[in-house]
Structure 1
Amino acid sequence: MAESEMADTGQAAQPARLSVVSAATDGIRVLTLAGEIDLDTGQALRQALDASGTPRPRIVVDLSRVTFMDSTGINILIAAHRTLTAAGGWIRLAAPTEAVMRLLQIVGVDAVIDCRETFHQALSD
Structure 2
Amino acid sequence: MEQWVRVLPDEDDVRVIMCAGDFDQDTLQPLDRACANAADDPGVRRIVLDVTRITFADSSMLNLLIRMLRTGRLVVAGPVPPRLERLLELTQVRDLLPTAEGIAAARAL
TM over 0.5, shorter chain = yes
Between the aligned residues of both structures, percent identity stands at 31
Q: CA deviation at 1:55?
A: 4.3
Q: 1: distance between equivalents of 2:99 and 2:7?
A: 19
CA 1:105–1:116 in structure 2 vs 1: closer, same or farther (change >3 Å)? farther
How many residues are matched?
Answer: 105
- The equivalent residue for 1:33 is 19
Q: Is the 8 A contact 2:15 2:44 kept in 1?
A: no
Alpha-carbon displacement from aligned partner over 1:26-61 (angstroms, at most 9, x marks no partner): 221000101111011112111111121414531000
Higher Cα Rg, which structure: 1
Give TM-score scaled by structure 1 length: 0.74
- The equivalent residue for 1:7 is none
Does residue 19 (structure 1) correspond to residue 4 (structure 2)? The answer is yes
Q: CA deviation at 1:17?
A: 5.5
- The equivalent residue for 1:10 is none
Instruction: Structure 1: state its 5+ residue gaps.
Output: 1-15
Give TM-score scaled by structure 2 length: 0.84
Runs of 4+ in 1 over 6 A off after TM superposition: none
Q: 2: distance between equivalents of 1:104 and 1:18?
A: 21
Q: 2: distance between equivalents of 1:78 and 1:17?
A: 25
